[in-house]
């Protein structure tokens, strides 16, 4: 995020209750499936929050291909230690399914760990099925 949104400060962490982290659009990714979230009662996704500037939002939309329709933005309620907040996130505009690359999954787990995700959450991320690079 520092590289993609240099003017948008970190604003904390939280959980998306009743959502699940998953992958989809394997045929659209460079090395495998892409990150998305889907509604699932009882699940939760750890998230990092940022105060995104307008300029950084335009840049991030391009980076995430939201400007092409690959992803759409969605406003969701996030549970934080300070209370609930409303934040927007990217949701993939394709069906769930497919495996992410090992490299991509590792980057996601590393980012979660750096943001302060619980060790068991990071461990679950690292243990997910993935495809080897080059397949």
pLDDT class for 134, splitting at 50, 70, 90? low
Mean pLDDT value across the chain? 91
Q: Please report whether residue 104 resides in a domain.
A: yes
Q: Please report whether residue 93 resides in a domain.
A: yes
Q: Please report whether residue 1 resides in a domain.
A: no
Position 113 pLDDT exceeds 60: yes
Q: Please report whether residue 97 resides in a domain.
A: yes
CA 29, CA 34: separation in Å to the nearest integer? 6
Q: Please report whether residue 2 resides in a domain.
A: no
Q: Please report whether residue 16 resides in a domain.
A: yes
Q: Please report whether residue 131 resides in a domain.
A: no
3: phi then psi, degrees, rounded to nearest 5: -75, -40
* 30-47 pLDDT, tens digit each: 789 999 999 999 999 999
* CATH number of the domain to which 34 belongs: 3.10.490.10
Report the range of poorest mean pLDDT among 14-23, 55-64, 121-130. Answer: 55-64
5: phi then psi, degrees, rounded to nearest 5: -135, 70
Q: Please report whether residue 116 resides in a domain.
A: yes
Higher-pLDDT residue of 67 and 120 is: 120
Q: Which domain holds residue 92?
A: 10-126
Domain count of the fold of the chain: 1
Give, for 14, the enclosing helix (H) or strand (E).
strand 10-24
Position 135 pLDDT exceeds 50: no
Half-sphere exposure of 51 (CA within 13 A, CB side): 5
pLDDT score, position 129: 95
């Amino acid at each position: 995020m520092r590289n993609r949104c240099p003017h948008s400060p970190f604003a904390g962490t939280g959980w998306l209750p009743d959502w699940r982290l998953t992958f989809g659009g394997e045929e659209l990714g460079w090395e495998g499936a892409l990150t998305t979230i889907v509604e699932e009662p009882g699940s939760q996704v750890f998230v990092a929050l940022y105060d995104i500037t307008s300029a950084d939002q335009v840049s991030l939309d391009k980076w995430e291909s939201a400007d092409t329709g690959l992803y759409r933005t969605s406003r969701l309620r996030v549970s934080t230690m300070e209370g609930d907040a409303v934040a927007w996130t990217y949701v993939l505009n394709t069906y769930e399914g497919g495996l992410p690359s090992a490299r991509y999954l590792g980057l996601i787990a590393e980012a979660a760990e750096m943001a302060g995700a619980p060790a068991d959450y990071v461990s679950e991320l690292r243990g997910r099925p993935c495809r080897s690079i080059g397949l």
